[in-house]
Amino acid sequence: MKRVLIIGATSAIASACARLWATEGSEFFLVARSAEKLDQTAADLQGRGAGNVTLHLMDATDIDAHPAMLQACMSALKQIDIALIAHGTLPDQKACEQDVNLALKEFANNGTSVIALLTLLANQFETQRCGSLAVISSVAGDRGRPSNYLYGTAKAAVSTFCEGLQARLFKVGVHVITIKPGFVDTPMTQGLTLPAALLAKPAQVAERIVAGIARKAPTLYAPGFWALIMWVIRSIPQPLFKRLNL
C-alpha cells in the first residue's frame, strides 16, 4: 500500500496514474480546484480498490495556500510515499505575446507554482528521508520553439529545478523524477491539430509514469520515443533551427 499525494488530481494523466495505484489499495490525498471533479475521482478510485481518499480544494497558483495543504496531507497520510505534481495549463502563445499579464499568469501556472510546491515538498521529503517526488514537465521544455516558447520556458525552468533537486535529495534517499510527456489526448489538447501517430492516450502515459517511479528513473519521456525526437530537435544547429516552423 502506498500513500500518495496528487496535486492536479483531476487532470487526465494524474487520474490515470491514480487508477493504477488504486488497484494496489493505496491511500490518497487529492488536490484540485473542482469539488465536483474531486468527488468523481474519489468515487472512481474507491471503486477500483483504493483505501482512504482525502480531498482538498486548492488552486495550485495560490502559493499562500500551499503550507496548509501540506499540513492537511500529513495529518491524513502521516507520510508521503509518492507525491505527483500534475497541474498546469496550455497557454495561447500568440495571446501571451500580446499581453504581458497573461504571459506572467501562464508562467505562474506552469512554472512558479510548481517550483513553490517543489520547494515545500522537498523539505518534507528531506525530513522523511524516503519517498518519490514526481513532477510532470514537458518535452516543450527541451528547446524553445516559436509555437509555444512561453509554455516551454516554464517547463524548462521546472525541469532544471528538478535536476538540482535530484542531486540534493538523492543524498538523503529521496527519488525525484522529471516526467516529460509529448502529445497526449487530453482535454488540454482538444482542438489542436496534432499528428495522430504521435498522440498518446493518458492510460498509456500513466503506465509508463507508474513504472518509471517504481524503478526510480531520473527523467522519463512519455511515450519513450520522445527521447529520440527531442534529441534530434536539440541537435539542430541554431542557424537552421530558427528558420523552422516548429
Tell me which residues are annotated as active site.
151
CA angle 62, 176, 77 (to 5 degrees): 60
Output the CA–CA distances (angstroms, integers) from residue 186 to 190, 211, 227, in the order listed: 7, 21, 21
Encode 198-232: b = buried (16+ Cβ within 10 Å), e = exposed. Answer: eebebeebbbbbbebbeeebebbbbbeebbeebee
Amino acid at 154: A
Rounded distance between C-alpha atoms, residue 245 and residue 137, angstroms: 22
HEC per residue, 182-199:
CCECCHHHCCCCCCHHHC
Q: What angle do CA 63, 205, 72 make, to 5 degrees?
A: 30
Left, alpha or beta for 190 (phi > 0: left; psi -120 to 50: alpha)? beta
- Side chain identity at residue 81, one-letter code: D
C-alpha to C-alpha distances, 29 to 2, 101, 129, nearest whole angstrom: 11, 32, 20
By C-alpha distance, which of 10, 7, 18, 37 is closest to 203? 18
